[in-house]
Amino acid sequence: MRYLVLFTLLIMGLSACKKQALSTPPGMEHDPVWTGNDGALGNTKSASGKTYQSKTTIIPVVNAPIGQVASVHTALRFVILDFPLHPMPQVDQRLFIYRKNQKVGEVKVTGPAHGRTIAADIVAGEALVEDEVRPE
């Protein structure tokens, strides 16, 4: 009787260890980020009734340091820059300050870096908190 119970448990344990293939998560079958398609398969009809072929969606990857001004010290002419989603700039790199898509200043990254922030000297123009910082 003891062997029968052990044999049954062994069979149940082995059947539970069977590996299954990974499947696509629900709702991600036609996601443009994962498949490169715009979500439509094959030919699609527009509102005017014309048939068109679906096109591949291109998602650009931005590797440029894009951040914002976290704090400004106008007397000593330096700023603290925050780069939460983009790579940190290199020391001695020059970046430009934009306010409402208009260039208002230029900074030179000097360091030190701490976490996702880094210090920079104001070379030209001015800076305010929440101004955008990016290469030209």
- What value, to the nearest 5°, has the Cα angle with vertex 23 and ends 21 and 24? 160
Paired tokens of 117: 């922030």
Nearest CA among 92, 84, 85, 124 for reference residue 111: 92
What is the pLDDT, as a whole number, of residue 49?
Answer: 62
What is the pLDDT, as a whole number, of residue 64?
Answer: 73
User: With contact defined as beta carbons under 8 Å apart, do 135 and 65 qualify?
Assistant: yes
Q: Which residue has the tokens 């094959």?
A: 42
Nearest CA among 110, 108, 102, 106 for reference residue 127: 106
User: With contact defined as beta carbons under 8 Å apart, do 28 and 34 qualify?
Assistant: yes
Q: Domains for the chain: give ranges and CATH numbers.
A: 31-60 (no CATH), 67-134 (2.40.10.170)
What is the pLDDT, as a whole number, of residue 35?
Answer: 46
Q: Is the pTM of this model over 0.75?
A: no
What is the pLDDT, as a whole number, of residue 38?
Answer: 47
Do you know the residue count of the chain? 136
Give me the residues paired with residue 81 across strands.
Answer: 69, 118
| Residue numbers of the chain with a pLDDT score lower than 70 | 14-63
What is the pLDDT, as a whole number, of residue 85?
Answer: 82
